[in-house]
Each structure stands twice: as structure tokens, then as C-alpha cells.
Amino acid sequence: MQNRSLKVAIIGGGMFFEDIIGQTFKDFIRGGIAGSLNSIGMSHLASAVADVEIHVCAVGTRSKASGTADKIVNWFAEDFPEHPIEACYGDAVWRDILERHKPDVLFVATPDNVHTQPILDALAAGVDVITEKPLCLTTTEADQIISRAEATGRIIAVDMHKRYDPFVREMMLKAPQQYGTINRVRAVLEEPLEVSTEIFAWAEQSNPFAYVGCHWLDVVHHYLKVKPVSVFATGQKDLLLNWDKHHVEIARRRGVDPSTFKRQTSINTWDSIDVAVTYDNGMRGDYNNNWINPAEFEGAVNQEIELYGIYGRGMVDQQERGYREAIIGDGSRTRNPSFGGRIRHHGGELEIFGYGKASIAAGLLAIIRRRILGESLETLEETYPSAASQRDIVQVIEAATAVAEANYQTLQAGQGTPVTAVLTASGFDLIRP
């Protein structure tokens, strides 16, 4: 009888681990994925996968001194003491996990710049992958991943959860019929300052456009079926580059001791990046991203997307969804349970709902259909955010990063921002007038 279970290993703690990733796998361990399929429009497959059991066998992080993996394992043990999970550590911890635990699935929740090698090593071991976004940071890496995935017949799913936001999905699905030809897209996603200064030690290895701009790129490319042809980008380096000075002023304004800040030295990365993409149908996409949004902002993030069509327009703004609270000591805040809402059912167990969970379910379903139900990669291609679907996104990220840096240098030299990029089959060409 065929084994109807999947063994999952997870590497990296991730900012949303306990809120989204870890709790999602707790839900899947407890009840499988069938109950999550209606959120991705795949409930017709619920009976076919209802008996597939999900097990987490190992959690790996880099530094043993942090104890992160042990904390996660202990957190899982609170609900599942009968299912031991090993905490693993090491600079290439995934290799040890792949060799000793032989999982079916590797979930990659490492920093942006440490996705490629774990994915490639997993493919070499015959393991399917779900990875946090972005897939990777260069087109060369993307091509290598896509090629290996096709050669090995394995699934690489990317956690592009904005694709499953019900508000965004509703607007994007009706856009061509209701709004007509789309002339322009405007998308904003701004992360809180603590992301770049307190949470991520690796902020200098990435940038806010790569980190969150990829979400809106995925939404636009997936639903509107457009292909990018050229990129213009500029960016700002002030607050983070001069963090050794600015954090003192921020502390003064908040009335706190500057020494309480986790990071007090210069952070050599972008405050924000603004990217204009021209698509093959003439449409323009404007993407604005930063990770310096003040902690005092009313929402966890600031995110909105607007479509401008010849017959109409649509806009989704998280702060306008209507859920606001005012709490003594916490101020006025907007909440977004559509991403990772919580519910405690009559049995007492906590579980989550929302598009954060839906994206993981989409990738896991594709792996089950491939590994257990024996379906082909071609059949599954449009049912989840695949590695192949991310190539254009990675290409835009790489080009935008290069253009923004080039324009930053010319601006500092008093020569304006004249640099753009033309996307090519293999990457991009910088155009310097």
C-alpha cells in the first residue's frame, strides 16, 4: 500500500514563523490540508487528499547560540508531545537534515540571499520544496533552480501569499472584464522599521523591493498575464545608512534610551526603492516599497494596489478594510485577520485561517498531487506559485536593484537618474545615455 504521508523539514525561523508558518503546520499535523483547500479554490480535491498525514521531522537554524530551533521544537511539543522533532544547527544545516532525516519536503524560511543552495541540495536529494519569497535574487539562480526542478521532476513552490488575498483576488479576477484594458498599476507595500533594524540581521544582503515588492509583482504577472520588458528604478539611502546617528534622534523622540536599540551602527541598505516596469502590452506598473515605516503607523504594514483601466478602476487598501481598534497602551490600530486570523474551536485547539496559510496549502497540495497522486508537473503548473512563474519576478528584482544603484551613483555625482534596463532572454542590459 502506498505511503499516504509527507515528512516535512523546516529550515529558518522566519519573521512569521509562530504566527503563520509554524501554526499552519500545527494545523496540518492535526487535521491534514483538506480543510484549507476552499481558500485556494481546490476543495474538489479534498476527498482525494483528506487521509494524507503531515509530519514535521526536523527544524534547522544556523546558530546554536540563539537556541531558535530548540524553542520551535518545544513549541511544537506543547501540542504534539507524542511526535518528537529534532532541533538541528549549522551553517548548512539543511544538508545534515536531508542526509539524516530524508524528508519528502523541505520548507525554506531562510534569509532572502540563502534560498538557492538549500533548494538545489533538496532537488539533488529528490526532495520537493516550499520556499519563502522571493525565490532567489538573480536570474542565473532562478534559471538553475527551474532547470533542476524540471530535470528531477520535483515541485518548487514559492510562498506568494498575496496571490490568495481574497480582496486582491476578487479585484484581479474581474479586472479585464470590468475595467477593460489596464493602462497602469500602482502598488505599495511598506514594512515597519523594526524589520530592517531589529528583526533582520541580513537587511544589507537584500532590499525592500526584493523582500516585499515581489508580492505585488507576482499578483500582477499571475492575474494579468503580462511580461516585463524594461525597468526604471531609483532609491533612497539615508535613515539606515546613517542609523548610527538617526537611531539616537528616534530614541529622543520616543523618550527611550538609545542603548536599548538592538542595532546601533550603520546599516548599508536601501530605505526605500521605487520601481517602474513597462510591460509587453504597454502597461506600466509602479511599485513603491520601503522597510522604514514608523512603529507608530496604525497597521502592521501599509499595503495597497490600484488598477487603472480604460473603463474603470479598482483599489484594495488594507487600512480601508474596516477593522480598527483603539486600546489603552497600544493606540489606534488596523488589523488584518484575512492574512492570519485565529480561531479556537470547541475542542480547544487553536488554528488559523487566511491567505498566509492558503499559500502554503497550495504548495503542499501540488506536492501531494505530484508525489502521492502521481500527477504531472505540466498539469500542476498553474495551480500554485511555481519556480517557473517566478522567473520574470526575479529578473525584475535583479534589474531594479542594479538600476537603482546606478541611478544612486549618478545622482550623487550631480548627473540625475538616467539609467534604465532592458530585459533580455538571459537577464538585462543597463542603458546609460
Question: Per-domain residue ranges for the chain?
Answer: 5-161+340-386, 163-334
Fold held by 5-161+340-386: Rossmann fold (3.40.50)
Query: What is the distance between the alpha carbons of residues 419 and 275, in angstroms, rounded to a whole number?
Result: 12
> Can you tell me whether residue 317 is helix, strand or coil?
strand
Does residue 8 have a pLDDT over 90?
yes
**Helix and strand element counts for the chain (H, E):** 15, 18
Share the mean pLDDT of the chain: 96
What homologous superfamily does CATH list for 163-334?
Dihydrodipicolinate Reductase; domain 2 (3.30.360.10)
* β strands within 47-165, DSSP E: 53-61, 86-89, 105-108, 128-132, 156-159
Does residue 400 have a pLDDT over 50?
yes
Any alpha helices (H) in 341-390, and if so which ranges?
Answer: 355-371, 377-380
Span 39-92, pLDDT tens digits = 999 999 999 999 999 999 999 999 999 899 999 999 999 999 999 999 999 999
Give me the amino acid identity at 356.
G
Which grid cell sits at 101?
532525516
Span 301-348, pLDDT tens digits = 999 999 999 999 999 999 888 899 999 988 899 999 999 999 987 777
Does residue 119 have a pLDDT over 90?
yes
CA angle 154, 155, 156 (to 5 degrees): 120
- Burial level of 98, CB count in 10 A (0-12/13-18/19+)? buried
273 bridge partner residues = 235, 289
What average pLDDT does this structure show over 93-114? 97
Which grid cell sits at 74?
518545544
pLDDT reported for residue 1: 45
CB atoms under 10 Å from CB of 169, counted, come to 20
Instruction: Quote the crossing angle between the two packed helices 116-124 and 93-101, to the nearest 10°.
Output: 20
The label of the residue with cell 509587453 reads 280
Residue 224's Cβ-side half-sphere holds a number of Cα atoms within 13 Å equal to 30
First to last CA, the chain: 66
pLDDT band at 2 (very low <50, low <70, confident <90, very high): low
In this structure, are residues 110 and 15 in contact, taking their beta carbons and an 8 Å threshold? no
In this structure, are residues 308 and 182 in contact, taking their beta carbons and an 8 Å threshold? yes
Span 128-137, pLDDT tens digits = 999 999 999 9
Query: What is the distance between the alpha carbons of residues 17 and 301, in angstroms, rounded to a whole number?
Result: 17
